[in-house]
Structure 1
């Protein structure tokens, strides 16, 4: 199962959803204009200095955001043709007609079989099984060898044919959306190292003719396209290359290319250098997050009792402007989003390697950055609850509740739905919800509107409408601020999870259900566009450090703090308070 949040119990099984521009752009329930107001200081428009980075990580990953899947161009532009920041590698797929081959590649051409009633019915049955009884209507269905198309769109194929379809030749290069889709989802069926080994082997072997000179000439012609494929792989799925076997294979191909084409060899070297920098930045980020988590886990004595809580600063002493705090939360969200590899969504339910051990690709968890982001959501929820339960005075607690309601409102206006949901979750935790005397001093009208926007009923229909509107605004944006879309992340994970569980990966005839892979790629590629946005707001290091490092109450500490703020109302709560006091005192003595 995918990682969950405190709201997970309210999730329902959800069907995949697409980007429907027929829905109106959401209007802020608090302003006449939902477009966020401009930053109050200089707009952040690039890499910041190390002093401004709360993680103290060099911003090499900013290049990763803009390095999307590269398009295929002529040889002169093969290695500098990455797409624009906002480009979606899946957004406008070309018709997936069968690949064309020249006679210089014997045995590779797919034989066109006419759409006889038998083959058409077979393909219709395959597609129906893959799409859960979806009806195609009267489209044209045809088979090309081991590949089945419907209206020029690939719907199913054998694994071998899909691998072959990925291999470039002198006169063929796979469609860009196909490259992204298959590289993303192939890990459901085989490991990246196996795929890369087979692709490189086929690309080399198909050029062999028995004549050494002719082989060299033919490989020189195909080398730029092989390098282009590897460039797309390393730029879009760089974390695959944390596997030592992948790096060895890449090194072997570099040596092989060097013997055939100096231009392609130089491009391979540049590609490898970019990859190493990206992996180095990832390593630094992971170390920084681990260090921050270690600091946050330190629990000073002042946090273990309400009496000592006055020694601790609260959020209002660090930042009393809800718009500024929402901006800093958006910084953290986008920073952490930028390090999540698209493959991590698939690897949450990908096949396990029977040889999995402590070596190579499996030395680090393959979903560690995705898990770290979900943990950030949980931390923010607990931070909100801690800030509310900690103050001794009821008036102060009410003020903090109203402050976080305003922060949540600003997150909604910015398009930061993940922080919005984390704040709502924290305020709905039982230790906070039971503070009735405190809540009586709060005007809850705005909070009820926000809860309505993120209501889990009807499969989060209100939120999905708001998300589509924010996505539409992002696509038409004239400023970086309008481009911000940060989805409620755990729901995105669950959508992808249920899409995977709800459709078979293989059809009864053994073919891969490529329609399912298209849908997986569509959802993940939308995330890639959101991830690439550079946060336009000024960084405030002091606020950022507070948000990511200040210790928070555990669940037991939250309950005890809540009881000390507003006493138990019944015998059950009295027993709970006595038990919590005894348990926490025992833990203090042990530590």
Structure 2
């Protein structure tokens, strides 16, 4: 019908009836992948294949599709052309499935049974293109299995460092001894860029279907291997936050120098905001607001008013509204998330910091890395707020549609993250990886040594004159602690610390020796493993770091155990005078043994 809204607009309006599936059995949901017009229903396809893992598995879906295809030959009803159209639509569904979700067919324990079934089916029905695609996918998965599986293919700083070290002669030498944290370098932009490089690399590899509430929170008990891309993002978040916290509380130094370390991290946080890297931004801010750092009144009193103003402004991004939502950061993501430039100016980029090659690229195009925890929280809330099945025992597909809306946003931001053109800096990898990293319990013990707790101090003390929006963060989903370490949780006397003579820091080069290193031995190298259960009243843990987490109704620590054994030793990297801080080598036998296979 033509809309009579004016003589010159020439608009035509048409009423279209849409079919929306609210519930159904698995069989009916699979059957509905082919619409009433006998063509593939792309909208239902997107929702179904993004969420079906919550109520069935790939083998069942594949069998139902193949059975329906073959059933059209065995039980003809209606014109033959209709059967052919439906069969072509089923073939299109299978091809699109393999294109969009190839990881669904990675089944090394069953010798890729689903792909074998698909290849046999395609051969029997002379579907050449389907057979070739399935065969190639099977070969690709076999190569992937030989290379260590999909987890080994994820971007990893420690994999890069160890692999790079083994390519050079002298790989049996110990790693370089990085300074605890060098505040004298004008490298805030470069540190922020490199953190963004790794955050973006991991976020681009994230499989959005891993973020479903029932999957990543392990309600279906599928194990951490089922959500390895989420775990990698969480580990990176925790790695940043722990190093920020440790760099502030660990050194033996005066309060004014410790305040300079805090100010430097605030400057780095400002650059992260300009880069639209909200993941590391939250990691840095949550570390600065963690109990070990936030309680140091004497230190915060030395932080400049300029830094404090910036800190308050940055912290307000993640401030929680009365309804418990981080509304401001969500609004910022909506406004800036998919834009290829940042509305913020970066004054230090030109005035105070050395320009790098990536700065030029960033002037042309810039991506976004959101804080994954917001999406995981949304999906967990949907999972817990709505039932899996209706009162009739049918699958609640309306719930899956709501989940897909969040998953679609993740995919949109993944596209935005591809706009970054930051090159990787090998020197940064070595510097960052070997920065000391203690958990929050150890940092808190060290914090008490720096500043004694007053007798009447409540649990959550606040720094004098420090009024900052406290942001919610995620407790550590994967604990780095290991009961076999045999290392005391007491931080202090046994710790070797580094410093410079002009800063009031006492120096002792004992990071690498077994006797003087901080209590992080195996925990420093171990990969963090199985999930702990997440309850509604506890914090919804996500990207890694300060162990302490707050979320609306409470806080919790989610612990686990597990370690990864390493085969290689790192070759000393050429970072003697790199842009992140000078290093010293240490080649004694104790040092060598530490980096041999555990």
CA contact (8 A) 1:168 1:222 kept: no
CA contact (8 A) 1:337 1:373 kept: yes
Q: 2:320 aligns with which of 429, 451, 456?
A: 456
**1:388 maps onto 2:265 in alignment:** no
For residues 439 and 563 of structure 1, the distance between their equivalents in structure 2, rounded to whole angstroms, comes to: 15
For residues 539 and 454 of structure 1, do their structure 2 counterparts lie closer, same or farther at Cα, with a shift above 3 Å needed? same
* Equivalent residue, structure 2, for 1:15: none
* CA RMSD of superposed structures (Å): 4.2
Shift of 1:481: 6.9
Shift of 1:186: 1.8
CA contact (8 A) 2:279 2:369 kept: yes
For residues 538 and 96 of structure 1, do their structure 2 counterparts lie closer, same or farther at Cα, with a shift above 3 Å needed? farther
SS of match in other structure, 1:367: helix
What pairs with 1:371-382 in structure 2 (closer than 5 Å)?
A: 371-382=231-242
Q: After superposition, give the CA deviation of every residue in 1:384-417 in whole Å (9 maximum; x if it has no partner).
A: 0111123333333222211111111111122111
Q: Choose 407-416 or 278-287, whichever is displaced more.
A: 278-287
**1:208 maps onto 2:106 in alignment:** no
For residues 247 and 179 of structure 1, do their structure 2 counterparts lie closer, same or farther at Cα, with a shift above 3 Å needed? farther
Q: After superposition, give the CA deviation of every residue in 1:168-203 in whole Å (9 maximum; x if it has no partner).
A: 89x733222311211222222222222222222222
**1:156 maps onto 2:23 in alignment:** yes
* Equivalent residue, structure 2, for 1:233: 97
* Equivalent residue, structure 2, for 1:514: 397
* Equivalent residue, structure 2, for 1:440: 301
Shift of 1:261: 3.1
Q: After superposition, give the CA deviation of every residue in 1:299-324 in whole Å (9 maximum; x if it has no partner).
A: xxxxxxxxxxxx74134379632121
Shift of 1:428: 0.9
For residues 265 and 326 of structure 1, do their structure 2 counterparts lie closer, same or farther at Cα, with a shift above 3 Å needed? same
Q: After superposition, give the CA deviation of every residue in 1:533-567 in whole Å (9 maximum; x if it has no partner).
A: 33311211111333345331233431343344x34
Shift of 1:423: 0.4
For residues 159 and 264 of structure 1, do their structure 2 counterparts lie closer, same or farther at Cα, with a shift above 3 Å needed? closer
**1:468 maps onto 2:334 in alignment:** yes
What pairs with 1:544-559 in structure 2 (closer than 5 Å)?
A: 544-559=429-444
* Equivalent residue, structure 1, for 2:572: none
For residues 341 and 29 of structure 2, the distance between their equivalents in structure 1, rounded to whole angstroms, comes to: 32
What pairs with 1:189-204 in structure 2 (closer than 5 Å)?
A: 189-204=55-70
SS of match in other structure, 2:21: strand
For residues 341 and 91 of structure 2, the distance between their equivalents in structure 1, rounded to whole angstroms, comes to: 31
* Equivalent residue, structure 1, for 2:454: 570
CA contact (8 A) 2:181 2:435 kept: no
What pairs with 1:28-47 in structure 2 (closer than 5 Å)?
A: none
Shift of 1:520: 0.6
Shift of 1:523: 0.6
Q: Choose 321-330 or 194-203, whichever is displaced more.
A: 194-203
Q: 1:492 aligns with which of 372, 375, 378?
A: 375
SS of match in other structure, 1:538: coil
Segments ≥4 residues shifted beyond 6 Å = 217-223, 292-295, 475-481, 582-591
SS of match in other structure, 2:392: coil
* Equivalent residue, structure 2, for 1:282: 150
For residues 402 and 349 of structure 1, the distance between their equivalents in structure 2, rounded to whole angstroms, comes to: 36
For residues 221 and 483 of structure 1, do their structure 2 counterparts lie closer, same or farther at Cα, with a shift above 3 Å needed? farther
For residues 382 and 318 of structure 1, do their structure 2 counterparts lie closer, same or farther at Cα, with a shift above 3 Å needed? farther
* Equivalent residue, structure 1, for 2:271: 410
For residues 376 and 434 of structure 1, the distance between their equivalents in structure 2, rounded to whole angstroms, comes to: 25
**1:253 maps onto 2:118 in alignment:** yes
Unaligned runs of 5+ in 1: 1-94, 98-139, 141-150, 296-310, 354-361, 574-578
Q: After superposition, give the CA deviation of every residue in 1:485-532 in whole Å (9 maximum; x if it has no partner).
A: 222212220111001211223222333332222111111121122224
Q: After superposition, give the CA deviation of every residue in 1:446-498 in whole Å (9 maximum; x if it has no partner).
A: 00001111112331111111121122525999989755222221222011100
CA contact (8 A) 1:167 1:199 kept: no
* Equivalent residue, structure 2, for 1:79: none
For residues 542 and 222 of structure 1, do their structure 2 counterparts lie closer, same or farther at Cα, with a shift above 3 Å needed? farther
For residues 183 and 315 of structure 2, the distance between their equivalents in structure 1, rounded to whole angstroms, comes to: 27
For residues 52 and 385 of structure 2, the distance between their equivalents in structure 1, rounded to whole angstroms, comes to: 18
CA contact (8 A) 1:168 1:226 kept: no
CA contact (8 A) 1:292 1:548 kept: no
SS of match in other structure, 1:199: helix
For residues 248 and 431 of structure 1, the distance between their equivalents in structure 2, rounded to whole angstroms, comes to: 51
For residues 446 and 228 of structure 1, do their structure 2 counterparts lie closer, same or farther at Cα, with a shift above 3 Å needed? same
SS of match in other structure, 2:186: coil
TM-score if structure 2 supplies the norm length? 0.60
For residues 315 and 193 of structure 1, do their structure 2 counterparts lie closer, same or farther at Cα, with a shift above 3 Å needed? farther
CA contact (8 A) 2:34 2:40 kept: yes
Q: After superposition, give the CA deviation of every residue in 1:107-162 in whole Å (9 maximum; x if it has no partner).
A: xxxxxxxxxxxxxxxxxxxxxxxxxxxxxxxxx8xxxxxxxxxx533333333211
For residues 367 and 120 of structure 2, the distance between their equivalents in structure 1, rounded to whole angstroms, comes to: 43
For residues 233 and 161 of structure 2, the distance between their equivalents in structure 1, rounded to whole angstroms, comes to: 12
SS of match in other structure, 1:154: coil
CA contact (8 A) 1:168 1:203 kept: no
* Equivalent residue, structure 2, for 1:29: none
SS of match in other structure, 1:393: coil
For residues 553 and 501 of structure 1, the distance between their equivalents in structure 2, rounded to whole angstroms, comes to: 34
Shift of 1:249: 1.9
Shift of 1:258: 2.7
Between Structure 1 and Structure 2, which shows a larger proportion of helix residues?
1
